[in-house]
Amino acid sequence: MNKNKQAILLLEDGRIFDGNSFGYEGETTGEVCFNTGMSGYQEILTDPSYCKQIVTMTSPHIGNYGINKEDIESDRIQVSGFIIKEESEVPSNWRSNQSIGNYLKEHKIVGIKNIDTRAVTRHIRDEGAMNGIISSADLDIDTLKDKLSQVQSMEGLDLVQEVTTQSLFEWEQNSKSKKYKVAAIDYGIKYNIIRLLEKSECNVTVFPAKTSATEILKFNPDGVFLSNGPGDPSAVKYGIEMVQGILGKKPIFGICLGHQILSLALGAKTFKLKFGHRGINHPVRNMETGQIEITSQNHGFAVDLNSLPNNVIATHINLNDETSAGIRCTDMDAFSVQYHPESSPGPHDSRYLFDQFISMMSK
């Protein structure tokens, strides 16, 4: 591969960024977003919540500690494209198996490097999230504009079916001696969520996203976990209907898309954020304790706080823009957060939420 091969990033409003090919040579499209984390690029690449998205890393130097076999959050790379300022071609870490460039090439993920990621980030922040196309194969702007015009908007898009398991399975690290039986609904679940549930004495069985309430109740779990995932939550109507069928019958804990689906099932509304929250350094206030948590986040939609029904209270608020970061039902065992307490990557401030779920099931 020619390390200096020209590549172009074209945004749907016509903004053009020139750079060099990074990873697999070719062409890719998706919604362009940015992540403010200084580390965790491997977990970001493999997070199913990034399905159909091109991720811009705001940190200027990516790949310095390489890629290993342990720090993955799903069975494949999930992003549709990757944008960085500078690639570290020679990683330095005892756990590293390969460079990030080779990793992207192996999984046929198209990227672009040597562009001003500060300018990309500022443009998205000012103008809002938008679709884009990265190409090292076709550099003609007019034909790239034609291809980009065919890409669907994220609003109204159900991407859960792109990432959910096709059949239920038990987490392979489970021990039958665990105390609690948890049904995890896979809207795009991250591995570390399952690992932490397993460490909290849970036997975890992962169910496809379209599993019905009848099937969940027949399984008779001690609790139901609603996972993170990609796309517009309002489009996941089967998930909303399933949650409505188990509310008040089983304890429920939701994260990110799971938080939005629970909120919609309770009667609230969601909306698309201007540019989303993505990074491992986002402050959240716990409204019940007053404590500030530094959190890992990845979402482009949020729950409308003004639409919460009377039996639902806001438990957490995002301090950057005062959007919803968590809710709790007052008359049923159900709660959720709009961030990632499993923190892979990220700080561990919010892992107490798994204990809260265990406490709810133990009742």
Round to whole Å and give the CA distance between 129 and 167: 33
Q: Answer whether residue 174 shows pLDDT above 60.
A: no
pTM reported for the whole predicted model: 0.95
Cross-strand partners of 132: 11, 30
Per residue in 28-48, pLDDT (tens digit) is: 999 999 999 999 999 999 999
CATH number for the region 160-362 comes to 3.40.50.880
Decide: residue 342, CB within 10 A, 0-12 exposed, 13-18 middle, 19+ buried.
buried
Q: Which alpha helices (H) appear in the chain, and where do they start and end?
A: 41-45, 100-106, 117-127, 141-148, 160-163, 191-199, 213-219, 237-246, 257-266, 352-362
Q: What is the mean pLDDT of the chain?
A: 95
Catalytic residue among 259, 277, 282, 340: 340
pLDDT for the residue numbered 345: 86
Which architecture does CATH list for 6-148? 3-Layer(bba) Sandwich (3.50)
When pLDDT is cut at 50, 70 and 90, the band that residue 178 belongs to is: confident
Question: 189 with 160: CB under 8 angstroms?
Answer: no
Per residue in 303-342, pLDDT (tens digit) is: 999 999 999 999 999 999 999 999 999 999 999 999 999 9
Per residue in 248-295, pLDDT (tens digit) is: 999 999 999 999 999 999 999 999 999 999 999 999 999 999 999 999
Per residue in 48-107, pLDDT (tens digit) is: 999 999 999 999 999 999 999 999 999 999 999 999 999 999 999 999 999 999 999 999
Per residue in 185-238, pLDDT (tens digit) is: 999 999 999 999 999 999 999 999 999 999 999 999 999 999 999 999 999 999
pLDDT for the residue numbered 175: 55
Catalytic residue among 256, 282, 293, 316: 256
Q: Structural domain boundaries of the chain?
A: 6-148, 160-362
**Is 256 an active-site residue?**
yes
Question: 13 with 127: CB under 8 angstroms?
Answer: yes
| Domains 6-148 and 160-362 are alike in CATH topology | no
Q: Answer whether residue 1 shows pLDDT above 60.
A: no
**Is 348 an active-site residue?**
no
When pLDDT is cut at 50, 70 and 90, the band that residue 2 belongs to is: low
Q: Is residue 159 classed as helix, strand or coil in its secondary structure? A: coil
Q: Any residues with CB less than 8 A from the CB of 18 and at least 6 apart, and which?
A: 6, 7, 8, 115
Round to whole Å and give the CA distance between 35 and 58: 6
The DSSP result for 275-288, as a single string, is: EEEEEEEEEEEETT
